């Protein structure tokens, strides 16, 4: 997306957030937005109990319904232990971004000509109304007589129609849109989006701003900008502040650059395809594909069974690029030919995404639908595999009421109660959650109980035909053939079916509390399903957050489940992605590069080098991200989740050492990929490093210093000094003025057994011999003092008065000096 267009989009998005949700000024004072004022109108405030509806005077039917849903939302949160202030703030936040997401998505659809008629942009010919608005005014003028001129009625119709293909984004029953903004606020938002009204000093928003494929993704990034700055300022200035709860989302959100996405998708999913179909010509359109990488062989697999997961998908940038690649693969494979069927298969069978931010999932769904609509005009939609990790409030009266529906299957509520506890902090953990592993103990116990009860029921049952009972026992109920995991999957499928019925009944009967709980539970069950699977390809730009900034819940989880990588969120995601990946399978990520070098990641590196293949590493320079500068350089890497084949596994690498614009780094990476492809023009390509993977094990701490020449690397295969030398404690007086003199300052003999001993303290540079200027008091009373005093240290008797080489502890270069057998040794020499 062009930089000038980004500026306009950023201004529009931030102004919409300020208008709807509110904002903090430079002094840290909160300025409530329109939706908070609207809540006050219907009797709900953050800092006090809600005003009874019958004391509010006359409310519209829409406001009465909104009040019931808001009350249910707050009640559900309070039952889960959330403070009222945060519950109200959460509702305002969700309502603001849902309204903004819907309006921006509709504007993008218009700009890309994916809607039959305009919804957002007004025309003079229609009196400033859009075409859809104009038609509503013509057909139902009674709906357009209020202060809003029928805009809410128009949007309600559009939302209901769009919900058929985009249910997550445009769900007409979503509690987030039950509360409508004021007519003035809605009018402002529409004016900024349509370009009829400028935002401050920026240019009018033209169609080009919203026509870009990545416009929705950048809109999501900009929505979080101010909040991100506020969170980091709090951590910087407030002692002991941690990043937790809702603050994790803006603090860790970082839009992935297009060149990063293409490099990772083409060298993971694309490489998988080329491994199965080496005769394919699709790679000719992949400018970041490395043909000459040392890859593991790929077994043929039907395309509809190849799965790709982004466990921190954000607005879906990886999924969008993978959609295009899958579509080309389907066309080449030829098993499906109808564009509608291909798009449906991609969304239902191939692509999977998880994120802790529901607004990101809404945007990802819309972006994927737009890709499908461009391929198949009039696309009827599909059941996508996108899930928001937000179901952390499964407790309270509604949840208990749901559990009572399993009266005849008591094992199900016991498992579900434990499941609810296991995802208590899922809104912070996201894909790092490991719910199945956390439930293994109760699953095993309940499986054994269920198996015993079912067998007793059959064996003691009064079946009419003995032969039928024997047949059931022998073949129809193979208890011992059902694994614990299969038992759990059956249990959760039953629970998912039950929650659908429970939620539908709640919706039909107007039980808003049950309806909201049911929606959360269904999301939780779907999330568990995705986290229990393994995928052919896992791609990610994971969140970055050091352990020092983690809240207590997140830090405890990461420390417990990811001991080799718990210094940062991104490194924990490396481990998690590998666990979510099939064997064989491929993981491709962009992260900070600290995991390649720091000692805290030593075990992670050793495991990667010994248990998998790392064919590609591209170390980027500063400012690899155009809109952010993380605290460290980024690295692109691909890992094959299969054991190394032997001595020949090689890692192809490249590094950018300068600080360059993102666009310049993209060009360098592109040249690297061309250089690795023998049929392409290399022109001014960067230096390529190729190192046998096993050689990393010989480097100190297994650092992935791929640029070290082989001649240097091989030196580390020899014994090091530490393998045949002993490191000793050297003498430390703790008070040199009292015990140390120059040798000309003392009278009497100097040497072993005397009151004074030469003291090697280092000194100025000299070669071969020298620096023997000092002596130290060494009578028996003094040496006893050195041994007894905690501030002192004394060299072991075994190493006193030997002929040795000594050197300064600090110097420009190493220079050993011969020291006669008359000395003890200071810490500095």
Is 64 a domain residue? yes
Is 775 a domain residue? yes
C-alpha to C-alpha distance for 364 and 376, rounded to whole angstroms: 18
**What's the pLDDT score for residue 397?**
85
Residue 644 has pLDDT above 90, yes or no: no
**What's the pLDDT score for residue 121?**
92
One domain, residues 562 and 691: yes
**Residue of 790 and 594 predicted with greater confidence:** 594
One domain, residues 461 and 514: yes
Averaged pLDDT of the chain: 86
**What's the pLDDT score for residue 796?**
73
Alpha-helical regions (H) of 538-592: 552-561, 569-580
- Which residue, 680, 715, 750, sits at the end of a domain? 715
Least confident of 9-23, 506-520, 674-688: 674-688
State the average pLDDT over residues 2-18: 93
Residue 610 has pLDDT above 60, yes or no: yes
- Which residue, 209, 237, 252, sits at the end of a domain? 252
Using one digit for the tens of pLDDT, what is the confidence trace for 269-312?
A: 999 999 999 999 999 999 999 987 766 667 889 999 999 999 99
Residue 685: band (very low, low, confident or very high) from pLDDT cuts 50, 70, 90: low
One domain, residues 160 and 247: no
Domain of residue 87 covers 3-219
One domain, residues 494 and 544: no
Would you say 495 and 528 are in contact if contact means Cβ atoms under 8 Å apart?
Answer: no
Is 503 a domain residue? yes
Residue 480 has pLDDT above 60, yes or no: no
One domain, residues 272 and 244: no
One domain, residues 654 and 795: no
Greatest CA separation found in the chain? Answer: 118
One domain, residues 788 and 694: no
Per-residue b or e along 546-571, where b marks 16 or more CB atoms closer than 10 Å to that residue's CB: ebebbbebbbebbeebbebbbbbbbb
One domain, residues 10 and 90: yes
Concatenated DSSP letters for 79-143?
HTT--HHHHHHHHHHHHHHHHHHHHHHHHHHHHTT-SSS-SS---GGGTT--HHHHHHHHH-GGG
Q: What is the CATH number of the domain that holds 581?
A: 3.40.50
Is 198 a domain residue? yes
One domain, residues 660 and 705: yes
Cross-strand pairs, 741 = 775
**What's the pLDDT score for residue 464?**
47
One domain, residues 612 and 674: yes
Using one digit for the tens of pLDDT, what is the confidence trace for 730-758?
A: 788 888 888 999 989 998 888 888 888 88
**Domain count for the chain:** 5
Is 377 a domain residue? no
**What's the predicted TM-score (pTM) here?**
0.82
**What's the pLDDT score for residue 367?**
93
One domain, residues 554 and 433: no
- Which residue, 488, 512, 531, sits at the end of a domain? 531
One domain, residues 295 and 186: no
Residue 266: band (very low, low, confident or very high) from pLDDT cuts 50, 70, 90: very high
State the average pLDDT over residues 697-717: 85
State the average pLDDT over residues 237-265: 88
Report the interhelical angle of 411-422 vs 440-459 (nearest 10°).
170
Is 111 a domain residue? yes
Using one digit for the tens of pLDDT, what is the confidence trace for 187-236?
A: 999 999 999 998 888 888 999 999 998 899 999 999 988 888 888 888 88
Residue 473: band (very low, low, confident or very high) from pLDDT cuts 50, 70, 90: very low
Residue 347 in tokens: 């969304």
Residue 680: band (very low, low, confident or very high) from pLDDT cuts 50, 70, 90: very low
Is 125 a domain residue? yes
**What's the pLDDT score for residue 257?**
93
Is 392 a domain residue? no
């Amino acid at each position: 997306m062009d930089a000038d267009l980004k500026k306009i989009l950023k201004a529009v998005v931030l102004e919409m957030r300020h208008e709807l949700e509110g904002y903090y000024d430079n002094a840290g004072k909160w300025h409530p937005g329109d939706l908070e004022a609207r809540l006050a109108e219907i009797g709900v405030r953050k800092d006090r109990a809600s005003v009874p509806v019958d004391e509010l005077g006359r409310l519209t039917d829409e406001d009465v319904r909104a009040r019931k849903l808001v009350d249910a939302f707050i009640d559900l949160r309070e039952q889960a232990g959330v403070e009222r202030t945060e519950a109200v703030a959460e509702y305002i936040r969700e309502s603001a971004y849902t309204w903004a997401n819907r309006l921006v998505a509709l504007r993008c659809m218009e700009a890309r000509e994916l809607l039959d008629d305009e919804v957002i942009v007004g025309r003079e010919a229609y009196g400033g109304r859009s075409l859809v608005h104009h038609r509503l005014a013509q057909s139902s003028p009674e709906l357009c007589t209020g202060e809003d001129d029928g805009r809410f009625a128009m949007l309600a119709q559009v939302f209901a129609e769009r919900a058929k293909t985009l249910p997550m984004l445009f769900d007409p029953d979503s509690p987030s849109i039950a509360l409508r903004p004021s007519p003035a606020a809605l009018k402002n938002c529409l004016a900024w989006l349509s370009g009829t009204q400028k935002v401050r000093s920026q240019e009018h928003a033209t169609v080009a701003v919203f026509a870009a494929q990545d416009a929705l993704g950048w809109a999501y990034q900009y929505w979080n900008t101010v909040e991100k700055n506020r969170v980091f300022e709090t951590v910087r200035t407030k002692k002991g502040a941690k990043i937790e709860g809702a603050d994790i989302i803006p603090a860790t959100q970082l839009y992935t650059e297009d060149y990063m996405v293409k490099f990772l998708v083409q060298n993971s999913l694309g490489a998988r395809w080329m491994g199965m179909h080496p005769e394919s010509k699709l790679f000719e359109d992949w400018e970041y594909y490395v043909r000459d990488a040392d890859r593991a062989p790929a077994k043929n697999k039907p395309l509809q069974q190849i799965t790709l997961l982004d466990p921190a998908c954000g607005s879906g940038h990886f999924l969008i690029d993978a959609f295009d690649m899958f579509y080309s693969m389907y066309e080449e494979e030829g098993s499906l030919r109808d564009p509608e069927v291909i798009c449906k298969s991609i969304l239902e069978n191939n692509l999977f995404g998880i994120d802790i931010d529901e607004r990101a999932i809404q945007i990802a769904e819309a972006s994927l639908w737009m890709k499908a609509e461009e391929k198949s005009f009039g696309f009827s939609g599909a059941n996508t595999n996108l899930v928001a990790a937000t179901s952390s409030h499964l407790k309270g009266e509604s949840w208990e009421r749901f559990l009572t529906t399993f009266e005849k299957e008591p094992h199900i509520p016991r498992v579900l109660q434990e499941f609810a506890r296991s995802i208590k902090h899922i809104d912070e953990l996201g894909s790092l959650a490991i719910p199945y592993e956390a439930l293994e103990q109760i699953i095993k116990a309940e499986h054994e109980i269920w198996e015993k009860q079912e067998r007793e029921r059959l064996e003691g049952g009064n079946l009419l035909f003995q032969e039928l009972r024997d047949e059931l026992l022998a073949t129809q109920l193979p208890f011992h053939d059902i694994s614990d995991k299969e038992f759990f999957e059956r249990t959760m499928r039953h629970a998912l079916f039950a929650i659908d019925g429970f939620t539908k009944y709640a919706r039909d009967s107007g039980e808003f509390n049950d309806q909201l709980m049911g929606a959360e539970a269904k999301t939780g069950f779907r999330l568990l399903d995705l986290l229990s699977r393994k995928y052919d390809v896992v791609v990610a730009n994971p969140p970055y957050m050091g352990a020092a900034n983690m809240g207590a819940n997140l830090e405890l989880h990461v420390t417990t489940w990811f001991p080799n990588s718990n210094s940062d969120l991104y490194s924990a995601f490396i481990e998690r992605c590998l666990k979510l990946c099939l064997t064989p399978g491929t993981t491709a990520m962009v992260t900070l590069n600290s995991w390649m070098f720091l000692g805290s990641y030593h075990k992670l590196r050793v495991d990667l080098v010994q248990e998998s293949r790392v064919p590609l590493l591209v170390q980027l320079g500063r400012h690899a991200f155009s809109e952010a500068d993380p605290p460290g350089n980024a690295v692109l890497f691909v890992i094959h989740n299969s054991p190394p084949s032997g001595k020949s596994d090689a890692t192809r690498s490249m590094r950018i050492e300068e600080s360059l614009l993102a666009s310049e780094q993209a060009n360098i990476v592109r040249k690297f990929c061309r250089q690795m492809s023998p049929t392409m023009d290399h022109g001014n390509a960067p230096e390529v490093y190729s190192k046998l993977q096993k050689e990393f094990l010989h480097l100190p701490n297994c650092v992935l210093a791929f640029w070290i020449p082989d001649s240097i690397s091989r030196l580390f295969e020899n014994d090091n000094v530490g393998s045949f030398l002993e490191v000793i404690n050297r003498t430390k007086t703790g008070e040199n003025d009292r015990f140390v003199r120059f040798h000309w300052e003392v009278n009497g003999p100097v040497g072993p057994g005397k009151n004074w001993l030469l003291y090697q303290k280092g000194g100025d540079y000299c070669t071969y011999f020298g620096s023997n200027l000092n002596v130290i008091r060494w009578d028996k009373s003094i040496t006893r003092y050195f041994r007894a005093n905690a501030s002192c240290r004394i060299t072991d008797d075994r190493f006193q008065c030997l002929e040795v080489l000594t050197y300064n502890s600090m110097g420009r270069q190493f220079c050993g000096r011969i020291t006669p057998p008359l000395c003890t040794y200071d810490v500095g020499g």
